């Protein structure tokens, strides 16, 4: 993003978020838990499950004013491209190692902003969580930033409820932020995959059983790499170290 882009984005964010929240008050009955868990400033990776097109839009409107979403590259080829650009969203090509998307992600985090992504890579139209790609684990292991799992469900009933002039009950549960416990090593591919799974299991623990999908065996979940993030001097130093390392 160049300087002009950043000025446009800074002006568009509050306007777009106001429009979204106004729209939600009409069509949604939001049940939100855990807003106190959201770090209000600093670099942050927000991860969501993805069952409905609303899923990335709700956290973007409510959690922080400086959230930059990753979005599938197809949406930048349509007539709404201008809106995604103005919001500061950037494309990712699913199913491949998209180096430019990772460069953009690290740029957002270096600037101290929040990055939003759906590790599953595509919407689950039926059922629950799908196997996640490794991008989320790679970002938090390389950057050392806290990760905030946000679980959402209920949006699938939106279209039928709108036709009946009914509001849709949508649940948003926010996990306490997590961080990789050590930044003193380079993680292997297997370890990055494990970190990604730990993020996804953290999402699964907040979802009803019918939406846990491939991460339903939460009783077997034993975190190895992630610990709860506290804004202590030591953990802040680790995050700073990780963000600085992204420039190297």
Confidence of residue 143 (pLDDT cuts 50, 70, 90): very high
Confidence of residue 1 (pLDDT cuts 50, 70, 90): low
Number of domains in the chain: 1
| Percentage of the chain modeled with pLDDT above 70 | 88
Confidence of residue 183 (pLDDT cuts 50, 70, 90): low
Residue 26 above 50 pLDDT?
yes
- pLDDT given for residue 184 in this prediction: 67
- In DSSP terms, 152 is beta-bridged to 172
**CATH number for 112:** 3.40.1130
Distance CA 113, CA 143 (A): 13
Q: Give the global pTM.
A: 0.88
CA distances from 206 to 43, 55, 231 (A): 23, 15, 23
Q: Which domain holds residue 54?
A: 3-245
Distance CA 134, CA 120 (A): 9
Between vectors from CA 31 to CA 84 and to CA 33, what angle results, nearest 5°? 90
Distance CA 110, CA 13 (A): 19
- Residue 95 tokens read as 């199913």
CA distances from 41 to 45, 125, 146, 184 (A): 12, 33, 11, 25
Pick the range with the lowest mean pLDDT from 62-71, 130-139, 234-243. 234-243
Backbone φ, ψ for residue 59 (5° rounding): -60, -35
- pLDDT given for residue 165 in this prediction: 92
Region label for 204, one of left (φ > 0), alpha (ψ between -120 and 50) or beta (otherwise): alpha
């Amino acid at each position: 993003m160049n300087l002009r882009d950043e000025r446009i984005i800074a002006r568009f964010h509050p306007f777009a978020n106001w429009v979204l929240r106004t729209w939600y008050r009409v069509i949604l009955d939001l049940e939100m838990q855990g807003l106190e868990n959201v770090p209000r400033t600093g670099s942050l990776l927000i991860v969501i499950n993805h069952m409905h097109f609303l899923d990335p839009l709700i956290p973007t409107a409510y959690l922080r004013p400086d959230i930059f979403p990753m979005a599938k590259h197809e949406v930048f080829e349509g007539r709404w491209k201008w809106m995604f650009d103005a919001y500061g969203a950037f494309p990712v090509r699913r199913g491949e190692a998209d180096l430019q998307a990772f460069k953009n992600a690290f740029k957002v985090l270096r600037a101290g902003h929040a990055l939003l992504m759906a590790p599953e890579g595509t919407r689950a139209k039926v059922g629950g969580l799908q196997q996640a790609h490794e991008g989320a684990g790679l970002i938090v292991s390389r950057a050392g930033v806290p990760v905030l799992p946000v679980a959402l469900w209920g949006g699938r009933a939106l279209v039928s409820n709108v036709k009946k002039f009914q509001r849709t009950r949508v649940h948003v549960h926010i996990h306490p932020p997590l961080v990789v416990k050590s930044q003193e090593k380079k993680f292997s591919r297997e370890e990055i995959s494990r970190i990604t799974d730990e993020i996804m299991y953290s999402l699964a623990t907040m979802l009803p059983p019918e939406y846990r999908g491939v991460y339903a065996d939460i009783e077997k979940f034993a975190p190895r790499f992630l610990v709860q993030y506290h804004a202590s001097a030591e953990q802040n130093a680790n995050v700073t170290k990780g963000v600085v390392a992204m420039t190297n």
